[in-house]
């Protein structure tokens, strides 16, 4: 059990502190050790698989935050994870301070939908900003004959691990195409980082991955002996009308010289967002937001998917959870968002 230090000891510490301070000629007087070394606050960012783009976002933010460690006392690290759903749950449980999550997953967690239906709305979820757009990407082996979502019938398809964001998108796309993922195909639930190898080894015919482009996973899938293409995801107007967080997009073929496609690929997209919890302090979120936005030009050079980031879009697009008070403080300070009336 912790005991209060009795007054005489406190007094002697104080005197000792004062003596040291005086002999060093510093003006500030306090206990010697406490003033010598500022406290370090450790924070961790949950990303995704190592061949995705979340991993690059985490690494970039970590670099920028750690450069300011002397002023802020904050030391960041990032880790590979199962993806959006895992990140949201782990941030809300307090084991990670920040996480990357698809905008659709942020919306669902906040409203208590999809994976959060049983637990109900996650009202301590907070948004920091959005990052790059990511597209629902269907990668298939050329010899599988898969040219459309409908062709997945009877095939072995990785729809994503349960902690991923992309699993929900695979299910949405399959349902929109009239396929029952449990009976119409052989669905696998492995992590995206393992998908390319499984495809090259002939153990699956295709996989879904919701990811920014260019992604290491797709380059890796197309680099093997088995020719691979990206399958267009079309006729999704009904899904977009039902779920407005989806938007039509195209994947430029030029980003993947080795895929068999001859033209850009039609599909649908969501946004990557940086999320945190209301329980993380204002100071931490303010410092991380500031480190990212003050160095945005440098961040944009860290991966081609970040090249088109605009601060004005990052503080609005794809954010359904309330913006964390620490991020809001920074946005208001620099005039990115209006101050409260």
**Which residues of this chain interact with ligand GLU, rule CB under 6 A?**
48-49, 52-54, 83-84, 102, 134, 164-166, 210-212
| Residues ≥6 apart with Cβ < 8 Å to 254 | none
Which residue's CB is nearer to ligand GLU, number 102 or number 287? 102
Q: How far is the CB of 105 from ligand GLU (least distance, A)?
A: 7
CB of 48 to ligand GLU, least distance (A): 2
Residue 193 DSSP one-character state: H
| Residue 198 exposure: Cα atoms within 13 Å on the Cβ side | 21
Q: What is the distance of C-alpha 105 from the center of its chain?
A: 11
SS3 42: strand
Token pair 């195209």 is found at 250
CA distance 128 to 321: 9
147, two tokens:
């040219």
State which residue, 170 or 277, has the beta carbon closest to ligand GLU.
Answer: 170
Of the candidates 263, 260, 265, 231, the one whose C-alpha atom is nearest the C-alpha of residue 248 is: 265
For ligand GLU, give the closer residue by CB, 54 or 286: 54
CA distance 267 to 74: 40
According to DSSP, residue 115 is labeled: G
Q: Rounded distance, CA 86 to CA 88, Å?
A: 6
Cα–Cα distances (Å) from 122 to 16, 107, 115, 258, 275, in that order, read 50, 10, 11, 42, 12
Please identify, using beta-carbon distances, which residue of 52 and 60 lies nearer to ligand GLU.
Answer: 52
Find the shortest distance in angstroms from Cβ 212 to ligand GLU.
6
Q: Pick the closer one to ligand GLU by CB: 53 or 328.
A: 53
Q: How far is the CB of 31 from ligand GLU (least distance, A)?
A: 45
- Cβ of residue 161: shortest distance to ligand GLU, in angstroms? 8
- When the beta carbons of 52 and 318 are compared against ligand GLU, the nearer one is 52
Nearer to ligand GLU, 160 or 326 (CB): 160
Distance of closest approach, residue 79 Cβ to ligand GLU, in angstroms: 12
Q: How far is the CB of 234 from ligand GLU (least distance, A)?
A: 21
């Amino acid at each position: 059990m912790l005991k209060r230090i009795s007054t005489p000891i406190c007094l002697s510490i104080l005197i000792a502190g004062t003596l040291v301070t005086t002999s060093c000629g510093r003006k500030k007087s306090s206990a010697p050790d406490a003033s010598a070394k500022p406290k370090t606050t450790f924070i961790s960012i949950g990303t995704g698989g190592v061949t995705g783009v979340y991993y690059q976002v985490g690494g970039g933010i970590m670099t920028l935050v750690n450069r300011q460690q002397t002023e802020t006392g904050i030391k960041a690290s990032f880790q590979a994870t199962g993806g959006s759903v895992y990140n949201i749950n782990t941030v809300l449980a307090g084991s990670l301070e920040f996480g990357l999550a698809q905008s659709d997953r942020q919306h669902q967690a906040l409203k208590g939908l999809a994976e959060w239906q049983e637990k109900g709305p996650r009202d301590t979820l907070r948004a920091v900003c959005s990052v790059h757009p990511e597209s629902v990407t269907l990668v298939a082996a050329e010899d599988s004959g898969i040219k459309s979502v409908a062709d997945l019938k009877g095939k072995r398809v990785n729809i994503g691990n349960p902690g991923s964001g992309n699993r929900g998108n695979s299910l949405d796309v399959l349902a929109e195409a009239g396929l029952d993922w449990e009976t119409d195909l052989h669905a696998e639930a492995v992590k995206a980082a393992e998908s390319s190898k499984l495809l090259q080894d002939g153990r699956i015919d295709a996989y879904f991955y919701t990811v920014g482009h260019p992604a290491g996973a797709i380059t890796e899938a197309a680099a093997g002996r088995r020719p691979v293409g990206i399958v267009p995801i079309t006729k999704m107007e009904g899904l977009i009308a039902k779920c407005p967080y989806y938007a039509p997009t195209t994947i430029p073929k030029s980003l993947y010289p080795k895929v068999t496609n001859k033209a850009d690929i039609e599909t649908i997209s969501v946004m990557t967002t940086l999320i945190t919890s209301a329980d993380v302090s204002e100071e931490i979120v303010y410092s991380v937001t500031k480190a990212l936005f003050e160095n945005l030009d440098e961040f944009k050079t860290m991966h081609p998917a970040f090249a088109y980031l605009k601060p004005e879009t990052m503080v609005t697009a794809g954010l359904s959870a309330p913006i964390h008070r620490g991020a809001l403080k920074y946005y208001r300070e620099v005039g990115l968002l209006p101050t409260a009336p």
